[in-house]
Structure 1
């Protein structure tokens, strides 16, 4: 049975999807972008600030499912420009313990929703 996870502490979905779906002990999150959950305005000051907003949104979704970044087993990072990778990675890395960090792939894409520079999705297990 699946349980829908939504929280007001992360941006409301802008399409026919939910912030996350819990199936058994496994949480599948939708991709998060740098939308401020209160104003629903994009936070695009610089790539570090944008990435921090994405990770804070993801943190809120994980917490809504009674999980944390320690529960994450897989991350997918979509970026517009691979030259931003090191700066994105430096912010992303703050949220994980290097010894228990999840598996991950980072993919450069031709476009992302609302013209953002980074989108991240995760899979977590209780």
Structure 2
């Protein structure tokens, strides 16, 4: 069993028209985006469960407020944010983890931004 190879084979292939210029951009496109896509259904269910644990307020909000709620709950609830980061980082290979650590602050910002965008773009799924 080769964990790194197995993890990489699980990821969906995403094609990009523009070639990333920096190491951080390449990591975002080659590692983060495919992992987020792979983990999409789980991330949605985790967020829905989070909302239910907080008395379901999210489901009564307007779409604009839901978008804000997603952003604020992930950025401000550190325990929840770290939980989501773990769901994503758990799919890094050992080499990717080392690269992540070299640019942890920037890559964490990008990871959270992509996650928030992904959840916000699927508001209709979140409210069914």
Same fold, judged at TM 0.5 (above): no
* Higher RCO, 1 vs 2 (CA within 8 Å, ≥6 residues apart): 2
| TM-score (structure 2 length as normaliser) | 0.33
Which structure: greater strand fraction? Answer: 1
| TM-score (structure 1 length as normaliser) | 0.33
Structure number with greater Rg is 2
